[in-house]
A and B are shown apart, each in its own frame.
Chain A
Amino acid sequence: MKFTIQINEGPYQHQASDTAYQFTKAALEKGHEIFRVFFYHDGVNNATRLTSPPQDDRNVVNRWSALAEKHNLDLVVCVAAAQRRGIADADEAKRNGKDADNLAPGFRISGLGQLIEGGIQADRLVVFGD
């Protein structure tokens, strides 16, 4: 079965991203397909490579990057939500005249259409937020 996952909250403040990660991992382990993971609203904060949590804590961002690499996941960050919150890849940084970019490996920035397509193409859309 194909799943699209939507995440509306950032790391550490809410459990949404943790639950979504465990759900995604369990779905992959059961042989399901993750069509896309869409990061929306404060969820875009899961995509900054500049987080440095204590070593004995989970690294929410790196964990997503690693899962994406292992399973070739499509991690999509909403462009409008990202611009508001200072999440940028090299192209976005250049386009907006910023001096740095911070998008973590395995993520890409795109539009809301990607969420709509995810909802249409997948058998289930599961939303995690607060």
Chain B
Amino acid sequence: MLHTVNKSPFTNNSLDSCLDCVGNGAAVLLIEDGVYGALKGSKVADKVKAAMGKVTIYALSADVKARGVADKMIDGIKMVDYAGFVELAAENDKVHSWL
């Protein structure tokens, strides 16, 4: 299952809720302000790193670049472009948007 999170974890708890619910082997894609969830050294970074043991976390590269945080991403977060987003949506049997 693919989960998309589009909110900053500093204004909203959707990333937190998402990580509490995801199943093993799921994919989590951070888009829009959601990419702030992939920031190194933030107060949510430990939870994100811990989740990376059971799910793969991706960030949408255009949104990362637009916010100037490309060099501040947690190691192991995978960058995807829009084509990669489409691929993730196709590969996973369902897409859930944490709006």
Total chain A interface residues with beta-carbon distance under 8 A: 22
Query: Which residues of A are in contact with B by a Cβ distance under 8 Å?
Result: 1, 3, 8, 15-16, 19, 22-23, 25-27, 29-30, 32, 123-130
Interface check B95, CB cutoff 8 A: yes
Where chain A touches its partner, the secondary structure class is mixed
Complex contacts, A26 vs chain B, CB 8 Å:
81-83, 85-86
Assuming the contacts A3-B89, A19-B31, A124-B89, asked whether A8 and B83 have C-beta atoms less than 8 A apart, the reply is no
Q: CB distance A1 to B95 under 8 Å?
A: no
Q: In chain B between 24 and 68, which residues have their CB closer than 8 angstroms to a CB of chain A?
A: 31-33, 60, 62
Q: A130 CA to B7 CA in the complex, in Å?
A: 8
- B84 to chain A minimum Cβ distance, whole angstroms, is 9
Residue of B nearest to A14 (CB): B32
Complex contacts, A8 vs chain B, CB 8 Å:
99
Residue of B nearest to A6 (CB): B97
Total chain B interface residues with beta-carbon distance under 8 A: 18
Q: CB distance A23 to B32 under 8 Å?
A: no
Complex contacts, B82 vs chain A, CB 8 Å:
22-23, 25-26
Q: CB distance A128 to B97 under 8 Å?
A: yes
Q: A32 CA to B91 CA in the complex, in Å?
A: 13
Residue of B nearest to A8 (CB): B99
- A14 to chain B minimum Cβ distance, whole angstroms, is 8
Extra contacts, 20 of them, besides A15-B33, A22-B62, A26-B81 (Cβ < 8 A), are A15-B32, A16-B32, A19-B31, A19-B32, A22-B82, A23-B85, A25-B82, A26-B82, A26-B83, A26-B85, A29-B83, A30-B86, A124-B90, A125-B95, A127-B95, A127-B97, A127-B99, A128-B97, A129-B97, A129-B99
22 contacts between A and B (CB under 8 A): A3-B89, A15-B6, A15-B32, A16-B6, A19-B6, A19-B60, A22-B82, A23-B82, A23-B86, A25-B82, A26-B82, A26-B83, A26-B85, A27-B86, A29-B83, A30-B86, A30-B87, A32-B86, A124-B95, A127-B95, A130-B6, A130-B99
Residue of A nearest to B32 (CB): A15
Lowest 4 A-B CB distances belong to which pairs?
A26-B82, A127-B97, A129-B99, A22-B82
